[in-house]
Amino acid sequence: MATRLWDFLTTDSCDRAINAERAADAADAVLGLAAGLATEGPTSPKLAPLVLHLDSLLDAINAPLGKLVGSTLPLADLGTGLLMFYRETTQTEPTLAQAIALVSQAAYLESFRELVKRNPRLGQLLTDNDSTPRARTITLEVKALGIFELTDSDAQLATVSFHQSALAAAFNRALKARLEQIGMPATLASRLVETVAKNTNRHIKKAIAAADDRLKTCFELPQP
């Protein structure tokens, strides 16, 4: 069985978002989700229309990167918050694949933001090159995440060793394409995304550790 990274959220949210105001861009949608979950929790009526605006949380890297990197909103908590939103909306418990799909997206964005904030020159490079017409084009690699299918076996691998998973490879392709799009040399972009993926492991583990007991059970690996 395979799970898409976002479809399971949008299917059950459509009826709640009819005629809702759209976010200006993907970064605004992602940050709006983070703000709504932080201030109002998973039952906030603001969440469903923002969920429908996205094909994945990584859509945000195709928006102005300064918005994402400069924000102080808690991105690392976004994955578990969306799982609680899903649970409230559907009255069902997420599967392991659904759980790691959301938590890994949020953790990857947090890892990227953390790396950029630790490297001011990198942040300046991204900001300086992010306003060109070419940089406004959505890359095919980011679009591909909307149809990426996460297998149960890769979900298990991503839970314990994200950077070695097919999910990490897909995220890395998307971010690398975006970085090259705004002028970063391919070799530097490759090194950067590998670092982001490795550090994502830490953010995934922190998110799972901070989750409530019900959500923690979603991340339990099947017994051999």
Q: Which two tokens stand for residue 61?
A: 């890297």
- Examine residue 144 and state whether it is found in any structural domain, yes or no: yes
- Examine residue 146 and state whether it is found in any structural domain, yes or no: yes
- Examine residue 224 and state whether it is found in any structural domain, yes or no: no
pLDDT at residue 185, rounded to an integer: 92
User: Which residues are paired to 151 by β-bridges?
Assistant: 2
Question: Nearest 5°: CA angle at 147, between 141 and 149?
Answer: 110
CA distances from 80 to 6, 34, 83, 125, 192 (A): 14, 11, 5, 31, 26
- Examine residue 223 and state whether it is found in any structural domain, yes or no: no
pLDDT at residue 221, rounded to an integer: 86
Q: Model's pTM, two decimal places?
A: 0.92
pLDDT at residue 18, rounded to an integer: 44
CA distances from 183 to 26, 65, 125, 131 (A): 21, 13, 9, 11
Contact 180, 186 (CB under 8 A): yes
- Examine residue 142 and state whether it is found in any structural domain, yes or no: yes
- Examine residue 78 and state whether it is found in any structural domain, yes or no: yes
pLDDT at residue 20, rounded to an integer: 46
Distance of CA 177 to the CA centre of its chain: 16
User: Looking at the 3D structure of the chain, how many domains does it have?
Assistant: 1
Q: Which two tokens stand for residue 200?
A: 């994502």
User: pLDDT tens digits, the chain, 224 residues: what are they?
Assistant: 678 889 888 865 555 444 444 545 888 999 999 999 999 999 988 898 899 889 999 999 988 888 888 888 889 899 999 999 999 988 899 999 999 999 999 999 999 999 999 998 888 888 777 766 665 666 889 889 989 999 999 999 999 999 999 999 999 999 999 999 888 899 999 999 999 999 999 999 999 999 988 888 989 888 66
Residues of the chain by 3-state class (helix, strand, coil), percent to 5: 70, 5, 25
Helix (H, G, I), strand (E, B) or coil at 168: helix
Residues spanned by the domain of 16: 2-218
pLDDT 10s digits, 73-108: 889 899 999 999 999 988 899 999 999 999 999 999
Nearest alpha-carbon partner for 47 in 25, 30, 24, 69: 30
- Examine residue 15 and state whether it is found in any structural domain, yes or no: yes
